[in-house]
Structure 1
Amino acid sequence: MTTTGHDGAFRDPAKKSLGQHFLHERGVVDKIVLAVDPRPGDHIVEIGPGQGAMTWPLLDRHGRLTAIEFDRDLLAPLAARARAHGELELVHANVLDVDFTALAAGTPIRLVGNLPYNLSSPILFHALDHAAVVRDMHFMLQKEVVDRMAAGPGSKVYGRLSVMLQAYCRVTALFTVGPGAFKPPPKVDSAVVRLVPRPPAEIGIDNPARFAAIVRAAFGQRRKTLRNALQPLCSADAISTAGVDPSQRAEQLAVADFIRIANLPVTT
């Protein structure tokens, strides 16, 4: 159990069971805050503040912050430390259970966080479900994941995550962070990424569920051609109608190609 003194200091190390790696290098924190660039009136929501490495500089810069923390033992020291920096609203919850739309309460939110690497993809997709109320996202993730998120067609790491995120967001890899910036240091490099949800008119996806099914099936067995991979969902003739060669494989297609295929009329 985490114990604190009267100063609200954090006493215990990160918990392996929660995948905690606490950011401590101030130079990295300053680069993240500069990338976020908080402005008056922004509703900033931090996912997983941990011991507050990003929380305090954001509060010093902005004055107000909402933070979602799952580890109950971190709540008291966070609340105690926050008094010297600004107004911190703490939400004790698993972020996957948080309704971002309700939390926004009519004001677009800006998501920030050093995400637990074992939950990064579920958190990203959960945030996408609420993209209508999200202005932007700045996340620290495993570099391998950021590489996949930002990859283009033809890349070995281009896949379902790349297509799903890029269809709904503009994805920009910002900078890499070495293991030494964390306590304890992870065994991999990390990276910071910016995601900006696209306006609905720019996305152009008629049926999100069908789009997701098409992308999932296309990358389900990467060695298969689209003709074979999408057979249960879409015929080769239909794929051709969308302007795509059915003999291609999923990693060769641009995001717009997947959208055109998904938007084809469904025939029975």
Structure 2
Amino acid sequence: MKIRTGDIVTHVQRLAAGEAGGTVPDEEPPVVVFVHGLLTDSLASYYFTLGPALSAAGVDVVMYDLRGHGRSTRPTSGYRLENFVEDLALLLEGLDERRPVHVVGNSFGGTVAAGLAAWHPERVATAIMIESEPPVAVWNRHMADGLGHARRELVRQESIDWIAERYGSHTARLSKGAGRILEATTLAEEIPHGQVIDDDLSAIRCPVLAVFGDESGLSAQVPSLEAKLPLCRTVVLPRQGHSVLVEQPNRTRDLVLDWVREHHTPAARLETALSGAPR
């Protein structure tokens, strides 16, 4: 399915609760929206990991391709974080989805999830960030460094050959596709200059689950997230780097499903509503 979201058309796939097997729930199910990462990713990373499993467990699932990725429109410009966040808000509107959603984001997708929680709190029941950073000023600097390096290297055949030798032909094809995105768009220039939230994270009031690998540098955020977000739970997986979703899909599935079920009770929904109310 494709839906107009502002200046682009977004490719989206839905799996209703029970559609992928399992039992259709008697009451209104929770809805989970999956947001993938940048450049080498698409909704397929969830379609082949978490999406069908959550549908079978009684969850309404929404998966979509970010602008510039997969089967969504690839404009030459319009790649600040706020563009991605607004795409998601407009997608929910286009789907006529009125329930607060649980937003699961991997890597950059987790930053989009945090942005939606900060700028559209009425839309978000909880945010689940997998190997992600919230959109604060230091994140922009990290993205500038990473995207600058990717833009230089992924257009070089020598780099693609090295990736193929070390990580295999599939990863090399994805990396070559990422290079094409960087050549055809202003993504690398725009993302590091996107809108941010205050470092104290006070804009994020919903419950947050943050999942990291212990061998990833992003796990260093754990003390800060726990101190700044009163409704935050962190999980650090042992012997794991940045590729948590790909390498630990079953563990990630269980963490997400348990979290969504825990926060779908009437008491949890009331607490979430109160946490998002004006202070």
Class of the TM-score when normalised by the shorter of the 2 chains: 0.3 to 0.5
- TM norm structure 1: 0.36
Could you say which structure has the larger radius of gyration? 1
- TM norm structure 2: 0.35
